Amino acid sequence: MILQFSIKNYRTFKEKAVLSLIASNYDKDTRENENIAYNEKFGLRLLKNAVIYGANASGKSKLLDAFGFMRHYVLTSSKESQKGDEIDVFPFRLNSATEKEPSEFEIIFIYKDTLYRYGFEVTRKKVISEWLYYKPKTKEIELFYREDNKFDTHPRSFTKGKTVIKEGLVRDNALLLSVAAQFNDKTSINVLDWFERLKTISGLNESGYRGFTMSKTEDPVHKAKILDLLKAADLGIRDINLQKLDIDKLPKDLPKELRDKILREMHEEKAEFISDVLTTHKKYDINGRSIDNVNFSLDDDESSGTRKFFALTGPILDVIENGYTLVVDELDSKLHPNLVCKIVSLFNSKELNPKNAQLIFNTHDTNLLSAGLFRRDQIWFTDKNKFGEAKLYSLGDFKSDEVKKNEPYEENYIRGKYGAIPFLGFFENLNTILSHHENEK
């Protein structure tokens, strides 16, 4: 589980921003049994989910984008780039002092009963610094600290990392962690394994994970679970089946290269291509009696919300079954507010989420604030000042006399009590401005 994630000088975040999933004592008697996972070894109370609010362009998506960048860079820096290749990182560009400074990332998490703290600073050209600490018992131990091309390593617990350094195998634009994992350093492999289990997806474009869900339906057990979620969402879907591509029905205007590729893979590799997902609905007679089933095309007949929820079922079930962390940008897009509430409740449930999977997402759906699903320390905001600098803060950061436990969070947020809403004063004068332009014609 994630304890804390922080970034600095990345995208819209000039100063350090820290997202903590360590539960505060401030809310200790609020949803303690549902929303909290207790780690006995380290004596930690950890939050199962966190929601982020803010105005458009305030940094909500950029914060979650930072999760995606860190994950991708950790998993690929040693094998998908060459010496001299640029690192795909973007510092805060609206200030001359930071645009050429490094961007910083750090994450603290627990995996296999060990607490890890890992981070790095990078520019577009190279790794400036990198560090890895772990806590197998009660004391945090430094495994390595890197500053440019100078490395300090633990003499006993990071020996393979020391070897790759000595052999000059760590490029300026690659992470020592990633290289050490390639050479079978056990601790580095554990850290990379955890990053594999950190899932980041877009709620605006489900095409990136719909195929994953489709593949899950070919297993009867997983298909049954996906159907249970679809039925629970009250979408009217009774069954789902994959429609395999028929060679004889390939579109006539399909480019020849693509057609040849499909035919070759189908013949030589026995590959199967899916042309659609068919959803089964009940058909009724005039008296309301079920008389038959009708198949709909997921692409042509179902709503955009149904298509998105179908795609989401695969990642959600995968994360919950394995105790992973799911980060979703714009979870509420295309989905009914009540359905988003049910997804959050799924992660809160002790029975349905026994391995304490975590959900981190941003949203504009203020209904969630009045649904009683969150503690104050789970509600976060991004706000941007006149210099374009975003900041991140929690409702739990407010003093107890400023924000009370049972106050109407949704109403107070909308009226601006917590900040993180757009300033729309221009709209108040818009009618006058437009009338002035009309008179000038």
Query: Can you give the three-state secondary structure of 131-170, one letter per residue?
Result: EEEEECCCCCEEEEEEECCEEEECCCCCHHHHHHHHCCCC
214 and 267 assigned to the same domain: yes
In a domain, 264, yes or no: yes
In a domain, 202, yes or no: no
182 and 49 assigned to the same domain: yes
In a domain, 59, yes or no: yes
293 and 311 assigned to the same domain: yes
Say what the pTM is.
0.91
84 and 162 assigned to the same domain: yes
% of the chain surpassing 90 pLDDT? 80
Q: What is the reported pLDDT for 255?
A: 78
289 and 330 assigned to the same domain: no
237 and 272 assigned to the same domain: yes
Q: In what order do the strands lie in the sheet with 325-329?
A: 198-202, 325-329, 358-362, 49-54, 379-384, 390-394
Average pLDDT over residues 40-45: 96
Q: How many beta carbons lie within 10 A of that of residue 397, not counting itself? A: 16
In a domain, 205, yes or no: no
438 confidence band (pLDDT: 50, 70, 90): low
In a domain, 204, yes or no: no
136 and 15 assigned to the same domain: yes
pLDDT tens string 100-134:
999 999 999 999 999 999 999 999 999 999 999 99
Number of domain units in the chain: 2
Which residue, of 322, 337, 358, is where some domain finishes? 322
pLDDT tens string 345-356:
999 999 999 999
Q: What is the reported pLDDT for 42?
A: 96
170 and 235 assigned to the same domain: no
Q: Whole-angstrom Cα distance, residue 316 to residue 234? A: 17
pLDDT tens string 289-348:
999 999 999 999 999 999 999 999 999 999 999 999 999 999 999 999 999 999 999 999
Which residue, of 297, 322, 347, is where some domain finishes? 322
171 and 137 assigned to the same domain: yes
430 confidence band (pLDDT: 50, 70, 90): low
CATH no. for residue 158?
A: 3.40.50
409 and 304 assigned to the same domain: no
281 and 330 assigned to the same domain: no
27 confidence band (pLDDT: 50, 70, 90): confident
Q: What is the reported pLDDT for 51?
A: 98
Q: Which residue has better confidence, 249 or 227?
A: 227
Residue 84 has pLDDT above 80, yes or no: yes
Burial class (CB within 10 angstroms; exposed 0-12, middle 13-18, buried 19+) of 285: exposed
Q: What is the reported pLDDT for 193?
A: 98
In a domain, 400, yes or no: yes
Which residue, of 266, 298, 322, is where some domain finishes? 322
In a domain, 429, yes or no: yes
Residue ranges making up the domain that contains 217? 210-322
Q: How many beta carbons lie within 10 A of that of residue 131, not counting itself? A: 19
Residue 261 has pLDDT above 90, yes or no: no
Q: What is the reported pLDDT for 385?
A: 94
pLDDT tens string 359-378:
999 999 999 999 999 999 99
In a domain, 62, yes or no: yes
28 and 176 assigned to the same domain: yes
